[in-house]
Chain A
Amino acid sequence: MSLRDSLARSLHAPLDDVSAEAGFAEDHPPRMGFFTDTSVCIGCKACEVACKQWNDVPDDGYALTGMSYDNTEALGSTTWRHVAFIEKPATVTSTDLGLPGMGPPGFEGYESGVPHGEDQSTASGEGGLTWLMSSDVCKHCTHAACLDVCPTGSLFRTEFGTVVVQPDICNGCGYCVPACPYGVIDLDKEDGRAFKCTLCYDRLKDNQTPACAQACPTESIQFGEVSELRERAAGRVAELHEKGVDVARLYGADPEDGVGGDGAFFLLLDEPEVYGLPPDPVVTTRDLGAMWRHVGAAAGLLGALAAAAFAGRGR
């Protein structure tokens, strides 16, 4: 394997085994992650509370935002799970669902008179309304920019393939903050260090489910092996498409995407940016080679300029 390929693999190209790439022995545990199926999210915020309770994360203030029922606004140093609420006029009229799989013989052809909305999309009154809810979390990218740019090694890849900050190492340089293409990690203003979801690293080591997934009443947040979750997610999208919910799509599940696929990915019912997610995130280190080449060339040019300054007749 050439250096170039090796760099590509470690910086942006598809990667089968993130833990091995990070140096864990072959018998490391499988990569663990979340599949958040927003089509069954009921916006109860149990994930937010369970996360803070378990990880001892403080509140982030008491401000009514007017952003529907979202008063925690975004992921950040004190919000590691964040439930977005989006009120939109209903635009999609989906087809009748029937009641698959439930009918006895003779009931297959059953067609309900109810115009089934997509999950989270309900005809209401005149016009109709959708109220989308989605629990966002750190994506635990295959190619995690935060981890790559961290100058102290505080951010590291765990044996479960997750990305975790070690608070005892972090010196608060803040590089991870603008590096993240999703706007997940942030410095705590008072503490000075960076914090984000650990995918409950401590619980994982005890064979426990992360707090948010444990608390989720509707299995919107599913925890498991990433490979298995990806299959489950693909199945769920197919199921929804079959039901006529054409707007269902996966986000972050594709290992070929700009971050090599997310360890925590989503089923969405609208465009990612509607939920505050970047539509096509790319890990910044994909361009790292080009950056260093240009830095080198510019340094060379600068040397040449300096030499030229003395080569001429100084006056």
Chain B
Amino acid sequence: MLDRCREIRSNILKISHASGNGHIPTSFSIVESLVAVYSTIRHDPKNPAWPERDIFILSKGHASLGLYAVMANFGYFTTDEVYAFGAYESRFGCHPDRTKVPGVEASTGSLGHGIGLAAGMALGFKIAKSPRRVVTLVGDGEANEGTVWETALVAADCGLGNLTVIYDHNRSQTRCLQIENPGERFAAFGWAVTEAPGHDVEALKAALGKRSDKPHVIIAKTVKGYGIKTLEDEVFAWHRRAPDAETLRKLEEELHAG
């Protein structure tokens, strides 16, 4: 694990402990994906409204703590500010609000919405003949929602080569509706498909650099709770849970030993 990604995970743990909020395993699942995104898209953390910026949308909004921790690491705001996560007057809600957090492009939370907004933005940039690109991250549980597949149809039909979906394939649905071979399914819908190890930043960056006339999905093979075996082994118990002081200490030990 990159030191940068370990530090981000450590911040996620500490903020969750301090705030009593957060979906830790799903946030851990996407750290490398988000680092790869913010390492490759055109953006300026000091000028989040830069008109020529590319767009990133976290469609699975409940992983907001992961998003904030990564955005803070890239300089959108300080990590200290995020310690107010979920507090009454905080900008940093447990689901992201684009009117409050600089650099958040869409307010998400209910699953299956961000991908449609992302496709609309990509279509707008295509109409405007703009070089701007759109990346969105969708959870594999979120892909149970029919709107994900409606959008997959529309994006292919509209030839949105400027749209990339990162599909966080962390096997979150083992007790529910699992989608086997999501890459084959997207390919059948007319998408370009890349399968990538979801905790390898360089591999993800390379995948994000691929260009096609078709919309592109990166099937990121990830592990929920990646980096701490206690979380990986107990993903359902830890789905939405904040560690107490003693547990935080143990989890941090595991994280830094890994």
> Is the pairing of A and B real?
no
